[in-house]
Amino acid sequence: MNIGSHELAGRAFAAPMAGLTDAPFRRLCRRLGAAYAVGEMTGSDPRLQASAKTRRRLRIDSDEPPVAVQLAGADAGMLAEAARRCADLGAQVIDINMGCPAKKVCAVASGSALLRDEPLVGRILDAVVAASPVPVTLKMRTGWDRSQRNAVRVARMAEAAGVRMLAVHGRTRACGFGGSAEYETIGQVRASVRIPVVANGDIDSPGKARDVLASTGADAVMVGRAALERPWIFGQIEHLLRHGTTPAEPGILSLRPMLLDLFDDHYRHYGEDAGVRTARKRVHWLMRRVEGGEGFCAEFHALEDSASQRERLDAFLLESAGRSPTFRYRDGAGCENEEGCGQQ
């Protein structure tokens, strides 16, 4: 499938999750088989542009193309200007966030709160598409709540405005991350528009990805929380879709260099102090369910410098490989409904 002139080589995409899917992690996902990865949600208010967090999220360097930046906001003019600014910085796709359910985002009428105001949705879509010199995509939920499911109407508005791709999380804002994703609505969206539609929500295995594609007719799937624990899920999904067989779990020793490279990249991206702090969250997601991971995470969190963290991670990987060639999970590899701003 294509986003404008950008051809994507596969059907498994990495979802944007603010504070979680930073540039180093996206690079790892691409290395492990993700055909596309969207940047972390960034506010469109120009007053935020000077913050270290925003500058870091908008730093466009060696990400594999197409480089996608996700913008959030409720002011059509601000979003349009932010889209132009991001394209000038090197963004090759602009993604509009109408899916984030976080209270602090919805409280300022952004994210999934926009779905309550369809006229405003229309103004935003028209303004951003008109202003952006690069393709515009939209990430959304199925509606504000079960009584206000309007995904089909919003999808048609997006197509009419010139949006090039839709990613639909199969929950309303009121659902948060609870319950089960409603793939029926995603299927209705797919049937109502001609532009590509990506299915998102509860996709935590290659088999689930295959089944969701079959049931919804979607063009691709987008994986969020499951990838935080197993970023190699993208390559597994692609293998099943292309070859019809479920691939084996990757060996710990084969993953070890890539995981160590992830943390090296992480420390370079954030610097020593911020890198040490944020590496604790990364390790928590990657290793919390692995056999022995709870104790390891406690030890890792107590370390105060990047060299010690990396050394302890390497030792844990070797210890785990000594117990089993692949990771053993304490209670399965599923993901809890832990909310992060922009988590899709």
First to last CA, the chain: 21
* Under 8 Å between Cβ of 126 and 96: no
Q: Which residues are catalytic?
A: 100
Cα–Cα nearest to 93, from 181, 1, 204: 1
| Residue with tokens 């499938």, as numbered in its chain | 1
Angle CA(77)–CA(113)–CA(42) in degrees, nearest 5?
Answer: 55
**Exposed e or buried b per residue across 22-56, where buried means at least 16 C-beta atoms within 10 angstroms of its C-beta:** bbbbbbbbbbbbbbbbbbbbbbbbeeeeeeeebeb
* Under 8 Å between Cβ of 343 and 224: yes
Give the bridge partners for 141, in sequence order.
169
